[in-house]
Structure 1
Amino acid sequence: MAEYSDLSVLIVDPNPGMRGNLHNMLSQSSITKIDYAVSSGTAIRQLAKKPFDIILCEYDLGNGSGENNGQDGQQLLEDLRHHKLIQPWTIFIMLTSEGVYSKVIGAAELTPTDYVLKPFTVDALLQRIRKAVDRREVFLPIYQLIEFGNIRKAVADCKVAEEKNPRYAVDFARLRAELLFDLEELADAELIYQWILMTKPIAWAHLGLARCLFGQQKYLETQETLETLLEQNPRYMAAYDLLARTHEVLGQQESAKKILEDAVAISPHMVRRLRHLGEVAFEAGDVGVAEKAFKQVVAKAKYSEFRDPEDHVKLVKTLVKKGDANQASGVIRDMERSLRGGPNVDVCRAIAAGMVQEMAGNITAAATELTNAVNSVAGSRGLSTGLKIGLVHSCLNIKLDQQASDLMLNLMNDVESGVSMDDAVNVFEKAGRHDLAQGMGEQIKIQVDELIAHAADQRSHGDLRAAVDTLNAGLRKAPGNLALLPAAASAILKQLDDLGWEAPLAEQCYFLLERMRRLDPTHPSLEALMAQYHHTQRKYGISAVA
C-alpha cells in the first residue's frame, strides 16, 4: 500500500495503548505521517494548526485524563464541521464498541465517513481506509470546485458524476441538493430529495426535504415531514432541532420547548441544543428550565475550545428574571475568572453587571456598566446580533436613549448583523418608544437619500454597475423601502439597456417591480418602469416573463 505513504493521519484517543496499536496498524500500510490527540480539545488545537487526510477518532474521549466530561467523538465531529476546521474531503473514521454504535448510528446527522467496531484487525481497519480513500478520489474534483467557489460547475458535475458512478449516485445527488440549497434554489433541491426518497426512505433525505420546505416557509409541511421522520427514526437528533424551530416560527413556544426537552433527554451533551432550549424556555417564561439549560451550557463549555462568554450573559439574564442576584453575581465572577483575557469578555461582563445593578435598583451603576458595554462593542469581534439587541433593550430600560439609538444604527449599518432598517424601527416601537422609532425613521430617510444621490452620481459618470451595487446594498438593509425600490429597478434597467441583457439581473429587476406592485399597486413610477422593462426585453429579443 505504498500509494498511501503520503497520507497524514491524526489519531484521537485518550488511551496510550490504543494509540500505539493504531500507529502499528497504520505503519503496515506505509502510513507514517501520524500525529496524536488525547481529547477533543487537543484534537481541535492540532487541526487548527494543519489539515489531516484521515482522522481516526475514539468515540469515548473523556478529557484525556480518564474522566468523563460529556464530550465524545460525535460531538467533536459536529464541532469540527460547524466551525469548518476540517475540509469536506477529510476522512473521519469513528472507532467504537458495538453497544455504543447501536446508540449513535441513528442519532448522528453529521455522520462520519465510516464506523469501525472494536475489536478490529489490521486488515479490517486498512480495508475501511482503502474504501474511504477510493471514495474520496471520486468526489475530490467536485470538492475542489466547491473550495474555489465554482458552485454552479460543481452542481453540473455532480449530475454527470451520478450517471458515471452508479455506486455513488445517491451520494452525488445528496451533494447536488445541498449545493442547490446553499444557492437558495430550494425548489430544485426539494425535487432531488423527493427523488431520493422515492428510491429509499433515507433519514438525511427526509431532513433535507424538511429544510427545503422550511426555507420556502411551508411550515406545516415541514412539521409533517419531520414528525414522520421522527416516527421512523426517533433518535435522529437534527430533526428535533428543526422541528423546534418550526414550532417557534408558528408561535408555538411551549411546543418548541417540549421538543427540545425530549431531544436533550435522548442526547444530553450537545451544547448548541442546550443553548437553544434555554433560549426557547426563557421566551416561553419557563425560568426553571432556562436556568437549568444555561447552567449546563456554561458547565459543559468548560471543556470546549469554543467557549462563549455570551452563555454567561444568558444565564445571568435568567437568574435576574428569577430574582436571584446572588447566583447572578457568582456567574459574573466565574466569567471573569475562567474566561479572563478572552475575546468579548469585557463587553459581556459589563452587560451582565448592568443587569444585576438594575435589578438591585442601582440605576447609576447600571448606566455606567451599560455605557461601558456600548463603548466596547465597537472593538469586539463576533458578538451575536441577539446580544446587541438585548443590550439595546437594557439601555432603554434605564433611559440610555442615545446609547440605544447609536447601537441600533450601528447594527442596521452592519451588513453581517441581518438587521434591516424596518427591524431597527420595530425594536423601538415594540419597546413602546415611538419617539425613538420616529427618530430612527428620520435617520433612515437621510441614509436612503444619500444612497440614492450617490448612485445617481455614479450613473452620471457612466459607472452603471457601481450604481446598481450601491442600491442593492441599500436594499439588503431596507428591502421594502419605496424610495430605494424604484431607484434600484431604474438603475438595473439602465445597465441592461446600455450594457446588454443579463438574465439574473433581469430576474432581479422583475422581482423588485413585483415587490413594488405588492407594496403599493398605485406607485407613480411602477407603470413606467414596467414599460421600460418590456421595451428592453423586446430590444434584445427576450421572451416576456409569464
Structure 2
Amino acid sequence: MNLKLARQSKVLVIDDQVLAKGYMKYSLEELGFHNIEYIDKVNQALQAIRREHFDLIICSYDLKNEQDGYYLYDQLKQDGDIAPSTAFVFISADTTPDIVHSIVELQPDDFLAKPFTVRELDKRLSRVLQRKQALKSIYQLMEKNLPEKALSLLEQFLSEPKNSEFFPLALKTKGELLEECGYYEQAIEFYQAILNVQSFAWAQLGAVRCLIQTDHDEDAEKRILELAFKPDCKLAAYDLLTALQIKQQEFDDALESVEVATEISPRNIRRHKTALDLSRITHDYEAQFEAAKRIVKFAKNSIHDKPENYLAVARAGIDFAMTADESQTFKLVKQTTEYLKQLKSSFPKADVDDQVKVIDARLLYLQDETDNAKALLSQLSNESWEAEELEGLLDKAKAFHEVGLVEHALNIIDVIERRCLQNPEQGKLFLHYIEQEKVEKTTITSSPKELNNAAVSHYQQGDLEEALEIFRQAFTIMPKNPSIALNLLQATAVEIKEQGLTDQAPQLIRNCIRTIENGKLTPEQEQRYHNVKSYLKDVV
C-alpha cells in the first residue's frame, strides 16, 4: 500500500459485526489508514455519505439478513450519492452464486470474501485506490456535472503512454461520458472500434444503449438477443430489451422480459416495480399482485421497507379479485386483509388511515356491500387531492368508479394526470397507465365485476349485439381472463354465423384464443371451447 495514499484517504466502514469491525480496524491501521469512520446502521451511513466525501467505503453485504448492504449501494447509485472518485468495496462471508451474482450486478469497485488476510486486503485496496487516484481530476469534473470538460481531459489522459495501466477503465469512462454528453453517434463509432479489438461486455452494452437512443431499434434488438446468451451480459441484456420494448410500447413483451430479469436477480426492487407498472398497463392482474408481493418480500428489513409496499399489495389484490371467480376472490380478499395486518404491525405509527379506508371500501364492494362502501367513501376529505400521494389518489378514483360515482372518479384522474405532466419524474409508464385508465373509465362505466355478468345476461336473453359490446368491454380490461375470452369468442362465433365475417373478427379471435390457451378452463369450458374452435376453424 502506498503509505501517502493511505494516509490521505478518508475511509468509511459499514459493518454491524463487532468482531469483523475490530479485525477491519486492525487491518486498515496496519496498512497506514488512520482517518476511518465506523458505522453499523444503514440510515446513518446514508446520512454520512450524503454529508461528506469518502475516498473509500468498505461495506458488509451481510447487514440485517443479508439485504441492507445490497440495497444501500443500490440506493446510493440510484440517487447519485456515490461520487465517481469514491471507491466502494463489498465484503461478504457468503459466497453462494446468488449472492455473488447480486453483488456483481451492482458493479462495485471490488468484492472481497471473508475471511481475508491483511495482505489480500492490501492488494485489493491498493489496486482500487490507485485507479481512483489516477483518474481523480476527471472524476472531479464529472462530480461537478461538467461531462464535456471531463471528456476533454480524458482524451488527454489517453494520449499519454505513462497512463497505459489505466487505459481499460479510462476507455470505459470515455464511452459513458460520450453518452452523458449526448454524442450517441460518436459513441457508437467508439464502442465499435473497441469491439473490433476486443469484445468487452461494457462496450457491447454501451453500443446497444446508443443504438436505442438513435432509433436503430432493429440493430439494437439483434445485438441484445445475442448478449442474452452470454452469462456476463444476460441480466443487462434483459434490462435493455425491456427498455427497448417499453420504448416501442410492446408492453406484454416488456413484462415478460423484466420477469425473466427478476428471476435471475430477485433482490432488485426497481425491476419488480417496473413489472408492477407493466402488469397494470397490460391488465395482467395476477402478475401485478405477484410483483407487489415480491416487493414486500425483498424489501423486508431494508431501507426499501415502507408502508406503501403493503398498500400496493392490498390494492393489487383487490384489482385481481375484481376479475376473479368467487372462490379465488375469497382467497384474494383473505390475503389482502393479511397484508393490511402486516402493515399495521410493521408500521403502527404510519399515517395511512384514509388510504386503508379506501381499501376497506373496495373490499366491501367486492362483498356486494355497495351502500356501505359508498358510506365509507363519503367520510373521506375532498380537499387535499393536490397533496395526496398519487397511488392513494388513484386507488380512491377506482373505488369511486366501482360504486358508480364515475364523474367523481374521472375528476380525480384528471388531477393525477395533471400532476404527472407537471412532474416528469413520476415516470412515463405511470403516466401511460393513467391516460389508459382515463380512457377506459370514461368509456366503460361498469366495474370488471359487473361486466361479464351483464354480458352473459344479455347473451342468454338473445340480445347478441348488446352482449357482444359488453363482452368486448370486459375483454378490454380483462384480456388475460380465459372465461371472458371464451364468452367473447362464443358470442363472436354466433355473430359470424348470423351476420358474416367482419374485418375486425380475425384479430379478435386470435387474441381470444391466445388468452384461452394460456389460461385454465373448467371441463365444461373446455368442451365449449372445443366446439366453438371447431366451428371457427371451418369459417375463418
Please report the TM-score for the alignment, with normalisation by the length of structure 1. Answer: 0.66
Q: What SS class does the counterpart of residue 166 from structure 2 fall into?
A: helix
Give the Cα–Cα distance (whole angstroms) in 1 for the partners of residues 433 and 94 of structure 2. Answer: 53
Give the C-alpha shift of residue 284 in structure 1: 4.1
Question: Which stretch of structure 1 is more off in the superposition, 97-106 or 175-184?
Answer: 97-106
1:47 is aligned to 49
- Map Cα deviations across residues 426-479 of structure 1 (whole Å, 9 max, x no partner): 557623638xxxxxxxxxxxxxxxxxxxxxxxxxxxxxxxxxxxxxxxxxxxxx
* 1:213–1:221 contact (8 Å) kept in structure 2: yes
Give the Cα–Cα distance (whole angstroms) in 2 for the partners of residues 299 and 132 of structure 1. Answer: 34
Which of the numbers 225, 246, 254 marks the counterpart of 1:256? 254
- Matched to 2:237, the amino acid is A
* 2:227–2:233 contact (8 Å) kept in structure 1: no
1:149 is aligned to 145
Residues 32-431 of structure 1 mapped to structure 2, 5 A cutoff:
32-38=34-40, 43-44=45-46, 46-48=48-50, 50-59=52-61, 61-63=62-64, 69=65, 71=67, 73-96=69-92, 99-100=95-96, 104=100, 108-164=104-160, 165-233=163-231, 236-320=234-318, 321-322=320-321, 323=329, 324-341=332-349, 345=352, 349=356, 352-353=359-360, 355-360=362-367, 361-362=369-370, 365=373, 369=377, 372=380, 375-379=383-387, 398-399=405-406, 400=408, 401-414=410-423, 416-417=425-426, 430-431=439-440
**Alpha carbons of structure 1 residues 98 and 186: separation in structure 2 relative to 1, 3 Å:** same
Give the C-alpha shift of residue 393 in structure 1: 5.7
2:33 is aligned to 31
* 1:274–1:296 contact (8 Å) kept in structure 2: yes
- Matched to 2:107, the amino acid is T
1:22 is aligned to 24
Give the Cα–Cα distance (whole angstroms) in 2 for the partners of residues 135 and 281 of structure 1. Answer: 43
- Map Cα deviations across residues 512-544 of structure 1 (whole Å, 9 max, x no partner): xxxxxxxxxxxxxxxxxxxxxxxxxxxxxxxxx
* 2:63–2:69 contact (8 Å) kept in structure 1: no
Give the C-alpha shift of residue 333 in structure 1: 4.0
* 1:106–1:235 contact (8 Å) kept in structure 2: no
- Map Cα deviations across residues 214-257 of structure 1 (whole Å, 9 max, x no partner): 23333333222222112122664232222233334445444434
Give the Cα–Cα distance (whole angstroms) in 1 for the partners of residues 396 and 147 of structure 2. Answer: 38
**Alpha carbons of structure 1 residues 433 and 118: separation in structure 2 relative to 1, 3 Å:** closer
Q: What SS class does the counterpart of residue 93 from structure 1 fall into?
A: strand
- Map Cα deviations across residues 1-46 of structure 1 (whole Å, 9 max, x no partner): 2542242322234443222222111111231233334465664455
Q: What SS class does the counterpart of residue 106 from structure 2 fall into?
A: coil
Give the C-alpha shift of residue 350 in structure 1: 5.7
Question: Which stretch of structure 1 is more off in the superposition, 351-360 or 326-335?
Answer: 351-360
Q: What SS class does the counterpart of residue 408 from structure 1 fall into?
A: helix
1:5 is aligned to 7
* 2:15–2:63 contact (8 Å) kept in structure 1: no
Unpaired segments ≥5 residues, structure 1: 64-68, 435-546
Give the Cα–Cα distance (whole angstroms) in 2 for the partners of residues 221 and 85 of structure 1. Answer: 34
Please report the TM-score for the alignment, with normalisation by the length of structure 2. Answer: 0.67
Give the Cα–Cα distance (whole angstroms) in 2 for the partners of residues 274 and 418 of structure 1. Answer: 15
**Alpha carbons of structure 1 residues 362 and 105: separation in structure 2 relative to 1, 3 Å:** closer
Residues 382-531 of structure 1 mapped to structure 2, 5 A cutoff:
398-399=405-406, 400=408, 401-414=410-423, 416-417=425-426, 430-431=439-440, 433=442
- Matched to 2:138, the amino acid is I
Give the Cα–Cα distance (whole angstroms) in 1 for the partners of residues 17 and 240 of structure 2. Answer: 36
Total equivalences in the alignment: 425
* 2:12–2:37 contact (8 Å) kept in structure 1: yes
Q: What SS class does the counterpart of residue 82 from structure 2 fall into?
A: coil
Q: CA RMSD of the aligned region, Å?
A: 3.9
Give the Cα–Cα distance (whole angstroms) in 2 for the partners of residues 406 and 102 of structure 1. Answer: 43
Give the Cα–Cα distance (whole angstroms) in 1 for the partners of residues 205 and 73 of structure 2. Answer: 19
| Structure ranking higher on relative contact order (CA contacts 8 Å, 6+ apart) | 2
Give the C-alpha shift of residue 278 in structure 1: 3.6
**Alpha carbons of structure 1 residues 336 and 287: separation in structure 2 relative to 1, 3 Å:** same
- Matched to 1:154, the amino acid is A
- Map Cα deviations across residues 275-328 of structure 1 (whole Å, 9 max, x no partner): 333443454454444323321211222212133444334322321122333332
Give the Cα–Cα distance (whole angstroms) in 2 for the partners of residues 357 and 101 of structure 1. Answer: 46
Q: What SS class does the counterpart of residue 104 from structure 2 fall into?
A: coil
**Alpha carbons of structure 1 residues 95 and 334: separation in structure 2 relative to 1, 3 Å:** closer
Overall identity of the aligned pairs, in %: 22
Give the Cα–Cα distance (whole angstroms) in 2 for the partners of residues 350 and 188 of structure 1. Answer: 55
